[in-house]
Amino acid sequence: MSSAESLSMAGRNHGGPSLAALLRVELLLALRKRADIANPLLFFVTVLALLPLGVGPEPDLLARLAPGMIWVMALLATLLSQESLFRSDFEDGSLEQQALSSQPLYFAVLIKAAVHWLVTGLPLALLSPMLGLMLNLPAAGYFCLLVSLLLGTASMSLIGAVGAALTVALRRPGLLLALIVMPLYVPVLIFGTGAVQAAIDGYVFGPQLAILAALLAAAAALAPLAAAGAIRISLDN
């Protein structure tokens, strides 16, 4: 079922879909695609399992690499899953319907990014302590790793939505999407790994987390705006 059909079912009684209905529909659609939820997580775990095979199993070395590697892999997993963010809605025309509807496209994008985070970023963050354990992450880093990933993956879902919207009309956007979105992820990555490293070294990590939260606030305000504009451009194609 496409979002448009489900939307009309969910919203018929209220004379138009409310945001809550849109959220419910998007979540339902996302949860039905089990493979799309599992794949980023499996990618995350598999690539991180390759790391010790590549650099060797010395616990000290792995402990030094752990925060950065977990963050970079979470970034890649988010990025790779983002390609399909608007894909099916674009192909069956429901994206066009949403662009035409009286509901602002801004909120539709915000909700899609939020759902993307719920099914990708949230599980990635929840899984990260286990991977920290496997990579011998020092004990002081776990809490900060979890919180920084919760905040950071949400920002990345929002920023990536802009790239996904820009490339949705292209046939094979995968690598191009990575090319245009990755430089925009840099601040999130820097403050995310910085926070975890500070926590491990025994410094305060509150400021870095606060900056991550500020980046998330800015991304939540601005990224859907840019993504909505990008969707309108892509629909022109």
Partner 1 sequence: MAWQWFHRLGSPRWFYQKTGAWLPWLALASVILLTVGSVWGLGFAPQDAKQGNSYRIIYIHVPASFLALAGYYIMAISGAIGLIWKMKLSFAVMRAAAPIGAVLTVIALFTGAVWGKPTWGTYWVWDARITSMLILLFLYIGVIALARAFSREQVADKACALLALVGTVNIPIIYKSVDWWFTLHQPATIKLTQSSSIDPSMFYPLLTMIIGFYCMYAWSLIAHTRTLVLQREWRTQWVQQELSGMETQGKGGK
Which one among 112, 215, 216, 224 touches partner 1, defined by CB under 8 A?
Answer: 215
Q: By C-beta, is 78 or 193 nearer to partner 1?
A: 193
Residues in contact with partner 1, counted by CB under 8 A, come to a total of 27
Question: For residue 55, what are the contacts with CB-CB under 8 A and spacing of at least 6?
Answer: 61, 62, 65
Residue 187 contacts partner 1 per CB under 8 A: yes
Residue 67 contacts partner 1 per CB under 8 A: no
The answer to whether the beta carbons of residues 160 and 230 sit under 8 Å apart is no
Angle between helical axes of 59-82 and 174-200 (0-180°, round to 10): 140
Q: What separation in angstroms does the CA of 115 have from each of 27, 29, 133?
A: 6, 10, 28
Residue 80 contacts partner 1 per CB under 8 A: no
Q: By C-beta, is 118 or 156 nearer to partner 1?
A: 156
Single-letter amino acid, residue 154:
A
Q: How far apart are CA 152 and CA 125, in angstroms?
A: 9
The interface mask with partner 1, positions 147-186, x = CB under 8 A, is ---------------x---xx-xx--x--x--xx-xxx-x
Residue 145 contacts partner 1 per CB under 8 A: no
Residue 210 contacts partner 1 per CB under 8 A: no
Residue 99 contacts partner 1 per CB under 8 A: no
- Tokens for 158? 């929002």
Q: By C-beta, is 7 or 95 nearer to partner 1?
A: 95
Q: How far is the CB of 188 from partner 1 (least distance, A)?
A: 9
Q: What is the DSSP annotation of 82-130? A: HTTTTHHHHHTTHHHHHHHSSS-HHHHHHHHHHHHIIIIIHHHHHHHHH
Residue 229 contacts partner 1 per CB under 8 A: yes
Single-letter amino acid, residue 106:
Y
Q: How far is the CB of 183 from partner 1 (least distance, A)?
A: 4
Q: How far is the CB of 37 from partner 1 (least distance, A)?
A: 28
With left for phi above 0 and alpha for psi between -120 and 50, is residue 16 left, alpha or beta?
Answer: left
Q: How far apart are CA 22 and CA 4, in angstroms?
A: 10
Residue 55 contacts partner 1 per CB under 8 A: no
- Enumerate binding residues for partner 1 (CB under 8 A): 162, 166-167, 169-170, 173, 176, 179-180, 182-184, 186-187, 190-191, 194, 197, 215, 222, 226, 229-230, 233-234, 236-237
